[in-house]
Chain A
Amino acid sequence: MQKLLEIRDLDLTLDKERILQNINLDVNHGEVLAVIGPNGCGKSSLAYTIMGLKGYEQNGGGIFFKGKEISELSVTERAKKGITLAWQEPARFEGVSVREFLSIGAKAKGRNIDNKDLDWALNEVAIIPNKYLDRNVDDTLSGGERKRIELASILLMKPDLVILDEPDSGVDVVALNNIGDVINDFKNEQMGVILITHSDEMLEVADKAALICGGEIFNVGNPQEVSDYFKYQCIPCEDEDFEKHQGVSSNE
Chain B
Amino acid sequence: MNDYEMMVDAYKKAGGEDVFSNSDTAHMVLEQDKILGKHEVEGLEINAEKIKTNTIDVKLRIKKGYQIKNPVHMCFGVLPKEGLQKILMDVNIEKDAYAKIMSDCVFPNATEVKHVMKANIHLGSNAHYEYEENHFHGKTGGVEVVAKSNIEMDEGSEILTLFTLRKGRVGKIDFDYEADLAENAKVEMLTRISGYEDDQVKIREAARLNGRNARGLLDSKIAMADNAKAEVYNELTANAPDAKGHVDCTEIIKDNAIARAVPIVEVSHPEAKVTHEAAIGSVDSDQLQTLMARGLDEEEASDLIIQGLLKG
- Does A93 lie at the interface of the complex (its beta carbon under 8 Å from any beta carbon of B)? yes
A87 to B310, CA, bound (A): 25
What is the distance, in angstroms, from B118's C-beta to the closest C-beta of chain A?
32
State the 10 A-B residue pairs at the shortest beta-carbon distance, nearest first: A108-B295, A95-B308, A95-B311, A95-B312, A105-B294, A94-B312, A96-B308, A79-B295, A75-B292, A91-B286
A76 touches B295 (CB 8 A): yes
B309 touches A104 (CB 8 A): no
Contacts A136-B312, A138-B312 given: A93-B295 contact, CB under 8 Å?
Answer: no
- Does A51 lie at the interface of the complex (its beta carbon under 8 Å from any beta carbon of B)? yes
Instruction: Please report which residues of chain B, range 271-290, place their CB below 8 angstroms from some CB of chain A when the two chains form the complex.
Output: 284-287, 289-290
B293 touches A93 (CB 8 A): no
- Does A217 lie at the interface of the complex (its beta carbon under 8 Å from any beta carbon of B)? no
A2 to B74, CA, bound (A): 66
> SS class of chain B's interface: helix, strand, loop or mixed?
helix
A64-86: CB near B (< 8 Å → 1, else 0) gives 00000000001110111001110
Contacts A91-B284, A91-B286 given: A79-B308 contact, CB under 8 Å?
Answer: no
Closest Cβ neighbor of A107 among chain B residues: B295
Closest Cβ neighbor of B250 among chain A residues: A94
9 contacts between A and B (CB under 8 A): A76-B296, A79-B295, A87-B290, A90-B290, A92-B287, A95-B309, A95-B311, A104-B295, A153-B294
- Does A3 lie at the interface of the complex (its beta carbon under 8 Å from any beta carbon of B)? no
A93 touches B287 (CB 8 A): yes
A153 to B297, CA, bound (A): 17
A76 to B295, CA, bound (A): 5
B308 touches A104 (CB 8 A): no
A195 to B298, CA, bound (A): 26
A79 touches B293 (CB 8 A): yes
Closest Cβ neighbor of B284 among chain A residues: A91
What is the distance, in angstroms, from B165's C-beta to the closest C-beta of chain A?
15
A155 to B215, CA, bound (A): 44
Instruction: Please report which residues of chain A, range 119-162, place their CB below 8 angstroms from some CB of chain B when the two chains form the complex.
Output: 136, 138, 150, 153, 157
What is the distance, in angstroms, from A142's C-beta to the closest C-beta of chain B?
17
Q: What is the interface residue range for chain B against chain A? A: 20 to 34
A22 to B86, CA, bound (A): 71
Closest Cβ neighbor of A74 among chain B residues: B292
What is the distance, in angstroms, from A72's C-beta to the closest C-beta of chain B?
16
A105 touches B295 (CB 8 A): yes
A78 to B293, CA, bound (A): 8
Q: How many of chain A's residues have a CB under 8 angstroms from any CB in B?
A: 30
Q: Which residues of B contact A51 (CB under 8 A)?
A: 293
- Does A18 lie at the interface of the complex (its beta carbon under 8 Å from any beta carbon of B)? no
- Does B91 lie at the interface of the complex (its beta carbon under 8 Å from any beta carbon of A)? no
Tell me which of B286, B295, B304 contacts A96 (CB under 8 A).
Answer: B304
- Does B291 lie at the interface of the complex (its beta carbon under 8 Å from any beta carbon of A)? yes
- Does B305 lie at the interface of the complex (its beta carbon under 8 Å from any beta carbon of A)? yes
Closest Cβ neighbor of A153 among chain B residues: B294
Tell me which of A54, A94, A95, A157 contacts B294 (CB under 8 A).
Answer: A157
B296 touches A91 (CB 8 A): no
- Does A109 lie at the interface of the complex (its beta carbon under 8 Å from any beta carbon of B)? yes
Tell me which of A78, A94, A109 contacts B309 (CB under 8 A).
Answer: A94
B308 touches A76 (CB 8 A): no
Contacts A79-B295, A105-B295 given: A93-B308 contact, CB under 8 Å?
Answer: yes
- Does B47 lie at the interface of the complex (its beta carbon under 8 Å from any beta carbon of A)? no
New contact pairs (10) apart from A75-B289, A87-B290, A94-B311, CB-CB < 8 Å: A75-B292, A76-B296, A76-B297, A76-B298, A78-B293, A84-B294, A91-B286, A93-B305, A105-B294, A138-B312
A188 to B312, CA, bound (A): 38
Q: Which residues of B contact A95 (CB under 8 A)?
A: 307-312
Q: Which residues of A contact B292 (CB under 8 A)?
A: 74-76, 79
A54 to B285, CA, bound (A): 9
What is the distance, in angstroms, from B309's C-beta to the closest C-beta of chain A?
5
Q: Which residues of A contact B284 (CB under 8 A)?
A: 91
Q: Which residues of B contact A91 (CB under 8 A)?
A: 284, 286-287, 290
B295 touches A109 (CB 8 A): yes
What is the distance, in angstroms, from B182's C-beta to the closest C-beta of chain A?
32
- Does A14 lie at the interface of the complex (its beta carbon under 8 Å from any beta carbon of B)? no
What is the distance, in angstroms, from A167's C-beta to the closest C-beta of chain B?
14
Q: Which residues of A contact B287 (CB under 8 A)?
A: 91-93
- Does A53 lie at the interface of the complex (its beta carbon under 8 Å from any beta carbon of B)? yes
Contacts A54-B285, A87-B286 given: A94-B308 contact, CB under 8 Å?
Answer: yes
Closest Cβ neighbor of A75 among chain B residues: B292
